Structure 1
Amino acid sequence: AVVNTHAHLDHIGGVSDLKEKYGIPFYLHPNEKPVLDGYERDCAFFGMTPKITPTVDHWLNTGELKVGDFLIQCVETPGHTPGGTCLVINDHVFTGDTIFAGSVGRTDLPGGDWNTLCESLVKAMKEIPGDYILHPGHGLHTTLKNEMLKNPFLIPLLKRVNS
């Protein structure tokens, strides 16, 4: 299965090929539908040739999702996109573009909202254990604890986590 954190073009471009080659389903949060529907427009904006827009087989919801042998906890983290979702598998968190080592997702693209992202970051810091390994959609892995100590976008939010 392909379980996406969000539907930006750099995260879904190969999904249709994977679905076709392996006969696997595609999972995505329903609030990502407008982002997915804008895939071809976004490709044109960035001067890219779009591949086939993938068809969603199953819409994600908050809570647990069983895919094969994996139990995935889906944590809604909108802000970078309307349906951004972090995927927790054991002590690993696939954050998409919600949080990076030293940064957070941009909110200046369609569907992005800075205040919503900040709420999602506070929620993540409250709900996800600090020693869990974060695997962002871009860049190096890190831990939530490390980001809470060093990430200049998270540090100002800590007072809301501890209240």
Structure 2
Amino acid sequence: MKISFILNNEKHTQEVREDMRLLDFLRDEMGLTGTKEGCGEGECGACTVIIDGKAVNSCLVLVPEIDGSEVVTVEGLSRSGELDPIQQTFIDEGAVQCGFCTPGMIMSAKALLDRNSAPSDEEIMEAIEGNLCRCTGYYKIIQAIRKAAESLAKTDEK
């Protein structure tokens, strides 16, 4: 089956298997290994990507479903070698430990901040509730997302 889609701001038309998960397609066919497989059942959020502005678990999406869509992975956030402010605040705030959940957390945070530039802590927690982290108590992750929102707000003011 041939599909057309935008992946990290690049247009693609590609022959795909109808039964392939988006997670496997991104990693195995497109070489984008930032998206991680945790549970394979949509419970952990490690495989979170953004499809048409919405954070989704790529392990639950079949590749044909992205036909005509825009997909963003963690690799698509940096611009000209510069980390996205969300990525940078995760580093600055120590919200990265083992790093396995980090891409999914960042993508969930990105989807949140794209639709709500000044979320409350409750809204941040709701946005990442589908992302599991076994290394932290989530405090530094929430703090990093809050700081990213503040940083983005300052950038928007300029």
Q: Same fold (TM over 0.5)?
A: no
> By percentage of residues, which structure has more strand?
1
Ranked by relative contact order (alpha carbons within 8 Å, sequence separation 6 or more), the top structure is 2
Please, what TM-score do these two structures have when normalized by structure 2? 0.34
> By percentage of residues, which structure has more helix?
2
